[in-house]
Amino acid sequence: MIFDFHSHTTFSDGELIISELVRHAKFVGYTGIAVTDHGDHSNIDLVIPRIVKAAAKLSTGFDIIVIPGIELTHIPPIHIAELVKESRKLGAKIVLMHGEVITEPVCAGTNLAAINAGVDILAHPGLLSVKEAKLAAQKGIHIEITSRRGGCLTNGHVANLARKYSVPLIINSDTHAPSDLLSAEKYYQVALGAGLSPAEFKNVCKNAQSLAERVLK
C-alpha cells in the first residue's frame, strides 16, 4: 500500500497533466497520491481549485485516492502562515512546505515558520535542527524522507533526528516525471537508504495511512 503525498504536474514544473500522473500512479500500484504543485501568492487561487476539481473526477474514474494539495514554495517566512490558511480555504487537503533543501537558496527560518503554521508535511527539510525536530514532534507535523535528487542528500540526518525525537516521518517521491513514481520495492529501498530499520519502515507506512485518513475526513 503506497501513499505518496508529493507530486507535480504541468500546473507547475511537472511533465504530465493531472490525469496522466494519476493514471501512471495507479499503474505503478499506488493506493493514493496527492497532487501538490508549487504555489505562492501569485497562483494558489488558480491552481488549487483546479486540482480539487480534477481530483474528485479521477479518484472515481481510476479507482485511486487522489488528494488535492499544494506545495508552498520559496515563501518569505513571515507570509507562510497566511498562505497555509488561504490554501486550506481554497480546498487543499494537504499543505506541504518546500523546506530548506540544501541545493536551493530557501530562506532561513522557512522550516520553523512552516511547522509553527501547521503544515501537514515539511518537504525535504535539509539540515533540520533539533529545535525544529522537537517542535514538529510536539505538533504532529510530518517530516519528509524523499527519493528526489538533491533533497535526498540529507535523508540520513533527518531520519536520525526523527528517531531521537519521535518525529513522524513520511516517504515521498516529489514526482515531476512518471519515472519518479515509486514501486513498492523502491519505496522500501528509500527507507533503508535513509537508515530506517524494517520496523521503522512499518511505522512510516502507518503514518501515511493515518495521514490519508485524517485529511480525507
Prediction pTM value: 0.98
pLDDT < 50 regions, the chain: none
Partnered with residue 146 across adjacent β-strands are 172
**Each residue of 124-147: pLDDT tens digit?**
999 999 999 999 999 999 999 999
CATH architecture classification, 3-215: Alpha-Beta Barrel (3.20)
